[in-house]
């Protein structure tokens, strides 16, 4: 068995892990949200926004798996999936949904009431604009800028209120974001960097969801 | 040339009527300190700016800058005014969760003009918002028994529909009609002529839109 074969096997295993772990994480989060609703009588909007981000991530991974590991390409053209497209596609729509939930989290946590729906208005506006004009070149700059802003906010919140949950999410989504950006930058030095990062966020996800991630001892926001 | 002269007269009258309305709104603002009056003054000011730019374009069309494909300052102002109209409705209904909607929609409508040579979507936007504003204000006028709102609704509707006009004289005529509706609304014309009961008349005397948003 050559080194290439090992990496090939690891790549296949990673695809199966991705459609297993993130949906499980989402289900865990949903169960926690429902339990909290039963306990307190009302929904935690922060929790619902995080669930929204995770479900969007599931959507993205699900399609990625189908296009990587099945013959769905024969039924649906790969351009519609558009992982490397700079325009609207199934993949980019998933990313856009994740950053939209991330930005809404910022506005909600800061109490900017008149801006709660702004990220959704922008999403709908961009999509209608794309449907009408076919123009979507601003999509990727918007996604990356919003993603970085959301992550910075999550780190600030985590350290400000000593919240292990926010810190865990921040680290997890930093790893996810790095799987999109880093491989293109350092592929020539570390060819399998994308694979390592994918494994890293999967294992970190398990670590986070099982409640073992508690680096901040004096917790303010709690780790649930 | 005659068309430009007639349009100029109409636009000047429009500006004048708007100034009269602004003076009235300013006096209302001094009385009740309700910021709805200031918002209305701002809306009318943006309409006046658009009218001034239209006047400039009659004589020096080269002074009207065009951004991108078809976005010029006159159309941009029209989009801003319609967005303010939408904000006005949201403010009246206290829908603070939607306050960013006018900014976002205005941005994307402007972007359409920046990138493409098509007036369809800005036109649709203006017609839809103007019609919604009219319908909303008519309902509010009926609900609150305040027919002054009707004048305002007719003003927004007529101004919005002026954008359909293909010739400058038609547009300016619509603007003038809109300003007349506004002035008749402010002068309590509708209250005097459309309300039959003296009791109702007395109840509505000195009533203005600001009553709707004063928090008790």
Query: Three-state DSSP class for B67?
Result: strand
Which residues of B are less than 8 Å from A111 in CB distance?
none
DSSP classification of residue B103: H
Mean pLDDT to the nearest integer, B4-14: 88
| Per-residue b or e along A132-148, where b marks 16 or more CB atoms closer than 10 Å to that residue's CB | eeebbeebbebbeebbe
| Per-residue b or e along B20-55, where b marks 16 or more CB atoms closer than 10 Å to that residue's CB | ebbebbeebbeeeebebbebbbbbbebbbbbbebbb
Q: What is the pLDDT of residue B19?
A: 92
Contacts (Cβ under 8 Å, ≥6 apart) of A173:
A53, A98, A102, A147, A150, A151, A154
* pTM of this structure: 0.79
Contacts (Cβ under 8 Å, ≥6 apart) of A178:
A197
Distance CA(B137)–CA(B148), nearest Å, equals 9
Distance from CA of B16 to the nearest CA of A (A): 35
DSSP classification of residue B165: -
Cβ A121–B96 below 8 Å, yes or no?
no
Establish if A203 touches chain B: CB-CB under 8 angstroms: no
Q: What is the pLDDT of residue B206?
A: 52
Closest CA to B89 of B44, B153, B151: B153
Query: Three-state DSSP class for B143?
Result: helix
Establish if A112 touches chain B: CB-CB under 8 angstroms: no
Here the ipTM equals 0.79
Q: Which residues pair with B72 in a beta bridge?
A: B66
Reply yes or no on whether the pLDDT at B72 is more than 50: yes
- Summarised one tens digit per residue, pLDDT across range B131-181 is 888 888 888 877 776 666 778 888 888 888 887 777 778 888 888 898 888
Mean pLDDT to the nearest integer, B181-193: 71
Reply yes or no on whether the pLDDT at B24 is more than 90: no
- Find the helix packing angle between A139-160 and A90-110, rounded to 10°: 40
Strands (E), B68-213: 71-72
Establish if A133 touches chain B: CB-CB under 8 angstroms: yes
Reply yes or no on whether the pLDDT at B196 is more than 50: no
Q: Which of B100, B104, B115 sits opposite A135 (nearest CB)?
A: B115
């Amino acid at each position: 068995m050559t080194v290439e074969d090992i990496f090939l096997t690891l790549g296949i295993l990673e695809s199966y892990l991705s459609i297993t772990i993130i949906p499980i994480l989402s289900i865990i989060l949903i169960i926690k949200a429902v339990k909290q609703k039963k306990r307190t009588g009302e929904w935690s909007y922060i929790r619902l926004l995080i669930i929204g981000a995770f479900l969007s991530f599931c959507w993205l991974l699900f399609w990625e798996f189908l296009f990587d590991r099945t013959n769905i390409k024969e039924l649906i053209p790969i351009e519609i999936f558009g992982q490397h497209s700079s325009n609207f596609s199934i993949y980019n729509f998933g990313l856009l949904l994740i950053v939209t939930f991330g930005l809404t989290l910022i506005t909600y946590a800061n109490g900017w009431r008149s801006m709660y729906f702004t990220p959704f208005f922008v999403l709908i506006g961009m999509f209608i604009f794309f449907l009408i004009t076919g123009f979507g070149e601003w999509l990727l700059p918007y996604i990356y800028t919003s993603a970085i802003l959301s992550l910075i906010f999550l780190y600030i919140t985590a350290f400000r209120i000593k919240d292990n949950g926010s810190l865990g999410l921040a680290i997890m989504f930093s790893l996810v974001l790095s799987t999109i950006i880093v491989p293109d930058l350092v592929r020539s030095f570390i060819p399998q960097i994308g694979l390592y990062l994918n494994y890293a966020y999967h294992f970190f996800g398990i670590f986070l969801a099982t409640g073992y991630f508690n680096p901040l001892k004096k917790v303010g926001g709690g780790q649930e | 040339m005659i068309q430009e002269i007639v349009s100029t007269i109409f636009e000047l009258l429009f500006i004048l009527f708007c100034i009269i309305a602004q003076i009235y709104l300013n006096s209302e603002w001094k009385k009740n300190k309700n910021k709805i009056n200031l918002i209305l003054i701002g809306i009318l000011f943006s309409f006046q700016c658009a009218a001034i730019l239209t006047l400039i374009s009659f004589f020096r069309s080269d002074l009207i800058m065009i951004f991108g494909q078809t976005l010029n300052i006159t159309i941009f102002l029209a989009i801003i005014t319609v967005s303010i109209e939408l904000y006005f409705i949201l403010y009246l209904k206290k829908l603070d969760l939607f306050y960013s909607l006018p900014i976002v929609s205005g941005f994307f409508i402007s972007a359409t003009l920046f990138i493409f040579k098509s007036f369809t979507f800005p036109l649709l936007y203006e017609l839809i918002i103007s019609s919604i504003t009219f319908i909303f204000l008519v309902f509010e006028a009926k609900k609150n028994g305040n027919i002054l709102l009707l004048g305002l609704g007719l003003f927004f509707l007529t101004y919005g529909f002026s954008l359909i006009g293909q010739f400058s004289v038609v547009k300016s005529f619509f603007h003038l009609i809109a300003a007349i509706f506004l002035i008749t609304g402010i002068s309590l014309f509708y209250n005097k002529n459309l309300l039959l009961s003296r009791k109702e008349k007395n109840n509505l005397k000195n009533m203005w839109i600001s009553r709707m948003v004063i928090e008790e």
